[in-house]
Structure 1
Amino acid sequence: MQRKLLAAALFASLPLVAAAQSSVTIYGIADASIAREDTDVAGGSRTVVNSGNQSSSRIGFRGTEDLGNGLKAIFNLEAGVALDTGAGDSALFGRRAVVGLEGGFGLITIGREYTPIASIAGQSDILGQGFYGTNLSSFNATRLTRRLSNSVNYKSSTMSGFRVTAAYGLGETGTGPSLDTAGVGLEYANGGLFLGAGYHQVERLATGDDKEYAFGAGYKFGAIEVKGNYMVGDRTGANNKFEQMNLGAAMAVGGAGKVFVNVQRNEQASAKGNLIALAYSHSLSKRTNVYTTLASMRNNGAGTFGINASGVNVTPPATAPGADPTALAIGMRHSF
């Protein structure tokens, strides 16, 4: 009888042991602000409540399962949320949706994933791809690719500070150009130093491939950080080459505060635009901060370049070359 009870107790404990090998985390960011935005055209000035001036508001689910021998199964589903209206993104988990395996070889994921250039751009943006004036304005359907659907992705383990990334996204077209995207990146991080370079190739047309490339760098010494990048989206065809350069610095002040400045140069054919951005963030706790962000773009007579924040953009219409947009916001961000 005692043996039967012991066996039953051991059997009942097995699911608990298995459950202890897995973990699932619910996380997110809630970011809202009051903003004054002006596209410098008639009727283009407005006061709004925005979601995502520093970080796009989101909710996500991520988890791991220990498979033994140093191997883990991982997944991540992340959805964007507009905090001002409560609406979700048009694609439920459009921010990230992957499943994969992680081990001594690195990480392999399948699904919708960030590109190699996106990783480099994020690590070399002094604004952390938040606040007005971030390099996110480089990423759209006619410039550079930030996320890949239908993709297979690889990140190597870090070796002597170096990490290799690679991605292949299937266009899944039945006829015509494949729309496949291939990308590769190389990153180096050691102490306060970061260096990175990435390249994408997109089969958008029957002849001639679009090319995207980026170089980024950063260095932190004490309370000061300096970061910069150069990114190019070179689409097949005349006058389609887009170039952007960023150079920024940040300094911690008073223990809980941080000041940011970024200058940006945009060029495409004869169109040119120069931007300056300032921001200040003050931590109220480990998870909560308040901030203010300000940016101004100066376009030449052919330029219609805009100002991007994490979840916001302030861009003049294509019919208003030479317009100079500005934006100012005060907001609060909480992460959980």
Structure 2
Amino acid sequence: MKKSLIAFAVLGAFASAASAQSNVTVYGIVDAAVMYTNNQAGGTNKAVMEAGQLLTSRWGIKGSEDLGGGLKANFNLEGTLANDTGAAGAGFGGSNLTQNFSQAGNNSSLFDRLSWVGLSGAFGAVTMGRNNILGVDSVGLADPMSLAHAGTNPNVALVGLNSGAFFGGFGTNQGGTALRQNNSVKYVSPFISGFAGAAMYGFGEKAGEMSSSSYAGLAGIFTDGTNGAALSFAKLKDPTGNVSLSGWAGGIKYKIVPSTMLRFTYGHNTIEGKLGAPVAVTSPNDNRKITVIGLGADYAVSDQLTLTGAYYNTKRSGDFDGKADQYIGLAKYAFSKRTTAYASLTYAKAGSSALKDTTLALGIIGTDGVQSKATRAAFGILHAF
């Protein structure tokens, strides 16, 4: 008992010393919604409880230490929170790749969203570890729904490379989503007259094959505090180094009157190289290109109530043609700065009932070759801490 008390005292002393030098914050978002969707497999309907529909549920720890002279040491650890089941973390991929590219990947991570340490100062900020790719930052600036419904949002899943079914074989994760990259170094410059730039590189860590499973990206951004624009370019390699995934992503937002904000995004990605015959219609194929156009408007009815209308047009070409559209109406009511209730109605329409079209609806429409359209309603609440 005496030894235990001494140990606790020593740990307490270290904790006190650390808190005296650093600023550490625990934060998060807990979001849950009831969702009802028609025209699933066999024309059936589905009712579910889902986490993270307005914003992805998450929890994290972040902190900084003032090193003097304007220099700071920073860290951020952040993981997905599936509060509908209590699970934490998500899959990011693994080294045993198959041609159908598992959505979840072969490994899982508690801090699947962010896991980095770095320095910041007058020169900007450098972070090392698991970072968001630059395309997410670009379309995130002006996404028509402010990244709501992330699981079925074309800007997140397709422009942001978050769908493992489409992009699992590229980048440092070696499977699963490519929206965030392991083993990466990211630099963001300071803003000068509203302009800033960013660069990021992810190491594939394969001996003798420097480009295999790598990520490289550049981005530029402008903002005046209200309006803004961003553009990014990225190139990712598969594990062989012979096939590349390149993509452009950009967005503009502009407030036309105090109550109304207009948003526009454009993104496309192209696969170049020979992968061989895919085993499923969703697997990447030679010279495949996916393009997403997003349009939206926010209207502030009052300080508490905001109405959003959004439209996404998604097209696939190069290997075969496919298309799908989404129309979304979203209402948000802010009880406070931290608590928001919301409701949305989504209508998805594919070019046909074939998989080449319905898969571009990202799970909203049943993919049994019968349905070509579906409607989804969601009612939820979000609390941030």
TM range (shorter): 0.7 to 0.9
Say if 2:183 is the partner of 1:150. yes
Q: With a CA cutoff of 8 Å and minimum separation of 6, indicate the structure with the bigger relative contact order.
A: 1
State whether residues 323 and 360 of structure 2, in contact with CA within 8 Å, keep that contact through their aligned partners in structure 1: no
Amino acid at match of 2:65: E
Query: What's the secondary structure of 1:314's corresponding residue?
Result: coil
Following superposition, the deviation at residue 76 of structure 1 comes to: 0.4
8 Å contact kept, 2:324–2:351? yes
Establish whether residue 251 from structure 1 lines up as the match of residue 286 from structure 2: no
Q: Is the 8 A contact 1:118 1:145 kept in 2?
A: no
Partner SS for 1:108: strand
Select the residue among 106, 112, 119 that pairs with 1:101. 119
SS in 1 for 2:218: strand
Equivalent pairs: percent with the same residue? 30
Matched residue, 1:55: 55
Task: Give me the whole-angstrom Cα distance separating, in 1, the residues matched to 2:350 and 2:270.
Answer: 21
Residues 112 and 206 (structure 1), Cα distance of their counterparts in 2 relative to 1, 3 Å cut? closer
C-alpha distance in structure 2 between counterparts of 1:229 and 1:145, whole Å: 19
> Using a 3 Å threshold, how does the CA distance of structure 1 residues 179 and 315 change in structure 2: closer, same or farther?
farther
Contact 2:62 2:75 in 1 (8 A): yes
The question of whether the paired residues in 1 share the 8 Å contact of 2:142 and 2:265 is answered with: yes
Q: Give the letter aligned to residue 222 of structure 2.
A: Y
Do residues 23 (structure 1) and 56 (structure 2) align?
Answer: no
Residue 328 of structure 2 is matched in structure 1 by 277
- Tell me: CA distance 1:306–1:314, structure 2 relative to 1, closer, same or farther (3 Å): farther
Q: Which residue pairs with 1:231 in the alignment?
A: 267
- d(CA) in 2 for partners of 1:88, 1:298: 33
User: Normalising by the residue count of structure 2, what TM-score does the alignment of the two structures yield?
Assistant: 0.77
Pairs within 5 Å for 1:312-327: 314=364, 316-317=366-367, 320=369, 323-327=372-376
- Pick the aligned partner of 2:244 from 209, 219, 223: 209
Question: Following the alignment from structure 2 to structure 1, what is the Cα–Cα distance between the partners of residues 157 and 241?
Answer: 27
Alignment of 1:66-81 (within 5 A): 66-81=66-81
Deviates more, 1:21-30 or 1:320-329: 320-329
Provide structure 2 residue ranges, at least 5 long, that are not aligned to the other structure. Answer: 1-14, 91-108, 168-176, 274-285
CA distance in 2, matches of 1:19, 1:158: 30
**How far did residue 16 of structure 1 move?**
6.9
5+ unaligned residues in a row in structure 1: which ranges? 1-14
Q: Counterpart of 1:303 in 2: which secondary structure?
A: helix
Equivalent position to 1:160, from 193, 211, 216: 193
Contact 2:235 2:244 in 1 (8 A): yes
Are residue 185 (structure 1) and residue 219 (structure 2) matched? yes
Q: Is this contact kept in 2: 1:295–1:307, CA < 8 A?
A: no
Q: Distance in 2 between matches of 1:230 and 1:128?
A: 14
Q: Which has the higher strand share?
A: 1
Amino acid at match of 1:203: K
CA contact (8 A) 2:262 2:296 kept: yes
What's the offset of the Cα at 1:127? 1.1
- Deviations along 1:249-300, one digit per CA (max 9) or x if unpaired, are 0011132100001111000021011111110000111110100011111111
Pair 1:307–1:26, CA change in 2 (3 A): farther
| Residue equivalent to 1:304 | 358
* 2:379 is aligned with 1:330: yes
1:60, 1:69 → 2: CA distance? 28
- Count of aligned positions: 319
Cα distance change, pair 87–208 in 1 and its aligned pair in 2 (3 A) = closer
Cα shift at 1:169 = 0.7
- Assess, with a 3 A threshold, how the Cα gap between structure 1 residues 167 and 34 changes in structure 2: closer, same or farther: same
Structure 2 residue aligned with 1:263, among 308, 311, 315? 311
Q: Secondary structure of 1:120's match?
A: helix
**What does the per-residue CA deviation read over 1:52-99, in whole Å, with 9 as the maximum and x for residues that have no partner?**
110111111000000000000000001111111101123100011110
Partner of 2:277: none
Q: Give the Cα separation in 2 of the matches to 1:322 and 1:180.
A: 38
How far apart, in 2, do the equivalents of 1:88 and 1:174 lie? Answer: 33
